[in-house]
Structure 1
Amino acid sequence: MQRLLVLVCLVAMLAACGFRPRASLAVATDLGPVQVQSADPYSPLAQGLSTALSRAGATSAVDGQPSSTLKVVSEALSTRPLALDDRAQVREYETRYAVKFELLDAAGAVQVPLQEVVLTREFTYDSIASAGSPAEQELVQRELRRDMQAAILRRLDAVLRAK
């Protein structure tokens, strides 16, 4: 009985503070077909953005059909040392992912002006278990790409809703 009361109180506090799970994004219906252009056509980000836009309700552009264009102008992934141990060996790294993008409509007019989104993640490096560190770095980079896709979609959604 006491556990049930505690659970009800926790749920009530969550509701009172305004917490709610984030809903999936839906792009503006007047956006029309969208194609993603990137300097690197095989970029995991560009491919992921195409998939994410489809999931959000955008239709994929067909060749020859006028469409909006999400241009990934640049993307830069860098890793730098963040902290050293007492023997001056790197213990923590920071991975930084910066992407510049813009959205143009079918006529070429700017819908979302050039913007930059920067995400960072920190991870520790264990010199004793160094075999796992490249795998951890790859995992951090995959998570950054996934989070970048979501951040770009949220930015597009916010700007298009404001218009």
Structure 2
Amino acid sequence: MKLYTLPLMSLIVLCLLAACGFKLRGQISPLPFKSMYVMAPDGHTIGLEMERLIKNSSTTRLATTRTEAEATLDIISAVNERAILSLSGGGRVRDFNLIYRVIYRVLDQRGIEIVPNTEIALTRILPFLDAQILAKEGEERLLVKEMQSDALQQIIWRLSAYKAPAESSQ
């Protein structure tokens, strides 16, 4: 292989990646709120993860109470489900469908809903073998954690696109 072909091939690969719309994940877009309070279901880690994400990646300040926040993110529920997707000819489970659902809304300082109840539902397929039960349990935990992370990213992206309605001056 000639020495000049490596840079040429690298350039071709970069052009192909750019043409398909690929881009590296960048920082989260700034949220349109100066301060935000996060409410989450008791005993669920999604609230702590959301607070960490906002604190590390945004210009929005985390409020310690609901009254001092410009907006409140109320995570109403975060549920993971597992449903049988397919069975073998002998009636054994071959695949599970993992479903992660998050329902949230956003309230302003006065408690008025500015973003209505919104659901994000993510699914993953988990192939299953009886001989690998322990490995599949670990894989399932990993997939659920990944789906939670994806759901949080989607919430942040959706909130960053929020535009407050214009005040009518009459």
Q: What TM-score comes out, normalization by structure 1 length?
A: 0.87
Cα deviation, 1:8-57, whole Å, max 9, x if unaligned, reads 112123334443223211333x51221111232x3111111111111232
**Contact 2:98–2:125 under 8 Å retained in 1:** yes
The yes-or-no answer on 1:155 pairing with 2:158 is yes
Ranges in structure 2 where 5+ consecutive residues have no aligned partner:
none
Counterpart selection for 1:137 from 140, 152, 155: 140
The yes-or-no answer on 1:2 pairing with 2:5 is yes
Partner residue in 1 for 2:127: 124
Rg larger in 1 or in 2? 2
Cα distance in structure 1, aligned partners of 2:153 and 2:165: 18
Residue type matched to 1:140 in 2? Answer: L
Counterpart selection for 2:25 from 22, 25, 44: 22
- SS of match in other structure, 2:130: coil
**Contact 2:84–2:95 under 8 Å retained in 1:** yes
Superposition RMSD in Å: 2.1
1:1-163 equivalent positions in 2, closer than 5 A: 1-28=4-31, 30-40=32-42, 42-57=43-58, 58-63=60-65, 65-67=67-69, 68-160=71-163
**Contact 2:66–2:72 under 8 Å retained in 1:** no
Q: Which has the higher helix share?
A: 1
Cα deviation, 1:74-121, whole Å, max 9, x if unaligned, reads 222100111112211001111111111111122223332221111111
Residue type matched to 1:47 in 2? Answer: L
- Against the structure 1 CA distance between its residues 15 and 130, is the aligned structure 2 distance closer, same or farther, given a 3 Å change threshold? closer
Cα distance in structure 1, aligned partners of 2:112 and 2:130: 52
**Contact 1:27–1:53 under 8 Å retained in 2:** no
**Contact 1:38–1:71 under 8 Å retained in 2:** yes
Q: What TM-score comes out, normalization by structure 2 length?
A: 0.84
- SS of match in other structure, 1:123: strand
Aligned residues: 161
User: Deviation at 1:64?
Assistant: 7.1
Give identity over the alignment, percent: 23
